[in-house]
Chains A and B, each alone.
Chain A
Amino acid sequence: MTNFEISSAKVEATAGLSVRRHVMSAAILGVLILLSAVANGLWLKILTSVAIYTLTAASIALLYRRLGLVSLAQVAMMGIGGWVTLRLAHGTGLPFEMNVLCGGLSAGLVGMVLSYPALRMRGLYLALVTLMAAGGFAVLINVIQFPNGGDGFTGFAVRSVAYMPRPLIAQSDPAYLRYCAGVTALGFLLIRWHETTRPGRAWAMIRRSEACAISAGVNVTLYKVWGLALSGFLAGIAGGLLAGNLQLLDARSFPAGESVLIFALTIVGGAWHWFGAILTAILYRLLPAFLNDIGVNGNAAYIIFGGALIHALMSAPTGLAGQLSDAAMAIRRRLKRGRT
C-alpha cells in the first residue's frame, strides 16, 4: 500500500502543474478530432470505442484512486446506463442527450445502492460483492434483453431490430467519434472539478484514515456515497454512448468477466495518472482490434493478451501511465542537467 501512497504524492506534486495537464488533454482531444477527419471506417469505430471505454476506465480509476474502492461491476453499470438510454430512445423520442443523461443518472443510483456494502466492507470482499452484482446483472439482462423497439416495460420483442437514433449533431461515424471524445472530456472535467474542490479534499482524508476524516468533521458516509454515485454515473454515460455507437446493445456484451477484465486493465493502464484511463481503453479495445486486423488468430490473441496482462501487473505497480510519467520526468531532469 505504501508505494502507492508515495507515488500518488509524487503524481500530485508533478501534476499540480495543471496548465501542462490541460495543454496535454487539449492536445489529445485535438489529435482525436484530426483523426476523425482522416481515419477510415475501421479506425473510426475503434477510436470511438476507445473514447467510450476511456470514460468507463476513468470511473473505475476514480473510485480506486480516491476511495480505495474496487468495483468489478463497471461494465454492468454501462449496461444499466445503456438499457435506460435505449428504453427512453425507443419509448419517448426524447433527444439523445436527455436519454444518455437519464441512463447515467440511473447507473448513478445503482452506484448509490452499491454504497450500502461499500460502507461495510472494502478490499477484496467489496470487490466480490460488486462482482456478484455484475454476475446477477448478466443473467438479468440475458432474460429481459435490451430494448429493441418492442412494447411493454422491457421494450423488447422478438422481431427485427429498430435502431436507436444518434444525436442530431453526430449522425455520421466521424461526428460521433468527436461527440464521444467531447463527452469523455466533459467527464474528465467533472472528475477534475470534484477532485479539486470539497469532495476531493474529503476523499483524500477518507483515503488516509476514516477516523481522521470524521474527527475533521467530514461526513464520510455522504462522500463515499457521492463517490460511488459519480462513478456509476460516468459508467452509465459511457453505456449510453455505447448504445448510440452501435445504435443497439446485445446482452451478450455484458458478462461479469468483462467487468473484471477492464478493472485489471485500469490497474495496468495506471489509476494514479489521469491519462491512465486512455491507456486502459487502448489496451481494452484498440489492441485486440489491431491484433484481429493484422490477422492474428483470435485464440492466439487471447494468449498474448492474458500474458501481457500478468506481465504488466507484475512489472509496473503504478501502471503504464506511471512508467511513462517516470520516464518523462527522467528525461526532463536529464535535459535540465544538460542545460546547466
Chain B
Amino acid sequence: MLAYGLFLLSGLALGALYSLGGIGLVLLNRATGVLNFAYGAIGAVGAMIAWQVLNWGGPEPLAWAASIGAGLLLSLAFGRLLAPGLAHREPVVKAVATLGFAIALLGLMNLIWSITPRSLSLTVDKQSVAVLGVRITGTRLLAIGAGIAITALTGVLLARTRMGLMMRALADNREVASVLGVPIRKVETTAWSVSGALAGFTGLLFGDLVRLDPTVLTFLVIPIIATTVIGRLTSIPVTFAAGIAIGIIESMLALYSPLTPFRVAAPFVVAIAALMWMQRGRYLTFAGED
C-alpha cells in the first residue's frame, strides 16, 4: 500500500509539470487560435538563459526574470511579426508553422550553448517536505501550486475581466468578434505575452526538475499537447486535471511491470482514449468547423 502512495505522489509531481505546460498552450489557443508547438522551445530558451545568468554569478531573482522575460519576448516576437501572416490560414497550418519556430530556436540554442551536461539548481530545491516517505522539494510544490494558482487566475481573468471577455469572444468566432469591435491585435498581444511568460516560467521549472537539455525540453511539448487535447484546447481546468491524471497514470504504471517500458506512452494513450470517449456517438456529417 505504501508503494501506491509513493508512486501516486511522484505522479502528482510529474503531472503538475504536464498541467503547467498545458495551461499555457490552452490560454494561447483560446485567444489566438494557435496551438504553439514552439512552446517547449521557448521555455527551453528561457531555462538556458537562466542557467547562463546563474553561471555568470547573477542572483537568482535575475535568473527567474530573465527566463520569464525571454519567454515573453520570443513569444511576442512570433505573435506580432510572424503569426499575422498566417492569420487567415487553417488552425492546423498555423500550428505546424510554429514547429518551424521551434526547430529554428533549437538550432540556435545548440549553436550558442555547446552540448554538455548542465544542471540548474534553485533555492527552492533545497526545501522539502516529506509525505508518506517521499520527499517533495519546494520546486515541485511550486509547480503544483503554480498550476492551481494559474488555473484559478485564468478562470477569473476569462470570466470576470474585460480582456477575458474579449478573449472568449475571439475564441468563439473571430469574424463576429472583430465586427463587434473587439481590438483583436491588443487581445492577441496580451495572449502571446502571457503565454510566453508562462512558457519561460514553466521552462525554468522543467529545466530544474526534468533536465537542462534543449532537445529534451523542446520535444516535451508533444506529450504536453496530450493534456490540451483532453481539455479540447479550450478548457483550462480540464487541462489541469488531465495533466495531473496523466502524470499519476504514467507514474503508477511503473508498478505493473509488463507495462512499465511503455509508460512514457501514457499521455498519448490517455488522450486518445479520453477523446474517443468524449466523441462517442457523435457523427460528423452536418457538423460545422470541427
Contact = CB atoms under 8 A, between A and B. Distances in A.
Nearest to A264: B96
Given A143-B261, A220-B285, A306 B101 contact: yes
A177 interface: no
Contact of A303 (B108, B276, B279, B285): B108
Interface residues of A, number: 51
Given A136-B265, A310-B100, A310-B101, A125 B290 contact: yes
Contacts of B100: 264, 305-310, 313
B275 A117 contact: yes
A257 interface: yes
Nearest to B264: A139
Interface string A81-123: 0000000000000000000000000000000000011011111
A256 interface: yes
Given A301-B107, A303-B111, A309 B222 contact: no
B37 A309 contact: no
A124 B95 contact: yes
A150 interface: no
A124 B104 contact: no
Contacts of B35: 124, 128
B101 A214 contact: no
B272 interface: yes
Nearest to A310: B100
Contacts of B82: 310, 314
Interface string B273-290: 001100100111110011
Interface residues of B, number: 52
Main secondary structure of the interface of B (DSSP, over half): helix
A33 interface: no
A124 B99 CA distance: 15
A211 B285 contact: yes
A267 interface: yes
Contact of A132 (B107, B110, B232, B268): B268
B276 A302 contact: no
Contacts of B279: 117, 120-121
Nearest to B281: A120
Given A261-B99, A313-B100, 4 more contacts: A133-B268, A140-B262, A264-B100, A313-B96
30 contacts: A120-B279, A120-B283, A123-B90, A124-B92, A125-B275, A128-B229, A129-B271, A129-B275, A131-B222, A132-B225, A132-B229, A132-B267, A132-B269, A132-B275, A210-B285, A210-B286, A214-B285, A299-B111, A302-B104, A302-B108, A302-B110, A303-B111, A305-B100, A305-B103, A306-B102, A306-B104, A306-B107, A309-B97, A313-B97, A314-B86
Interface of A: 1, 70, 116-117, 119-125, 127-129, 131-133, 135-136, 139-140, 143, 210-211, 214, 220, 255-257, 260-261, 263-264, 267, 297-303, 305-310, 313-315, 317
